[in-house]
Amino acid sequence: MRNTQYELSPMDNFSEDTLFMRMALREAEQAAAEGEVPCGAVIVLDGEVIGKAHNQTETLKDPTAHAEVLAITQATQAVGNWRLNGAVMYVTKEPCPMCAGALVLSRMKKVVWGMTDPIRGGAVSKFNILNEADLNHAVETEAGLMEADCKAVMQGFFQDLRLRTKEQRQQRKLDGEETG
């Protein structure tokens, strides 16, 4: 597992957006370390982090345990309301349709993501749930923040996964030859 540091030095010229996306990247790396698809999310309200999470679908055996949904649950508990008016989510990957729906339902003000997902994207790439005219709320969007870093974490995870899978197949083949 590749571990990239996103630490800030006092000399860094950065925005709050960059700081919060770096936190989301740390969450994504934690997911990867746990064998989860590396997606991390951070929710901020008035400059304060009120929720942060990473994918836990494998760990919790729950198909809805995406970083975005888990962070929304944390944030709603932190503010004591299911409406997250004024809150901004930073997430390493474009939300899927389920997560985009949760963002709309929670009344999130804005979502900022790193890499788009042309296959399963629920925000702009495949579907446009966040700005569907027939829904009762629209979520502002911003794509591409720290995109290269977000892609590197995701690609590194899947490269490592393919390598481990190949090694496991080779080992099973050797084990079969030895016992057969």
| Active site residue ranges | 68
Is 150 flagged in the annotation as binding? no
Is the separation of the CB atoms in 87 and 50 below 8 Å? yes
The residues with which 51 forms a beta bridge, in sequence order, are 43
Closest alpha carbon to 79 in 108, 110, 112 = 108
Closest alpha carbon to 24 in 100, 108, 94 = 94
Is 39 flagged in the annotation as binding? no
3-state helix, strand, coil in the chain (%, to 5): 45, 15, 40
Is 137 flagged in the annotation as binding? no
Eight-state DSSP code of residue 85:
T
Positions at the binding site for Zn(2+): 66, 96, 99
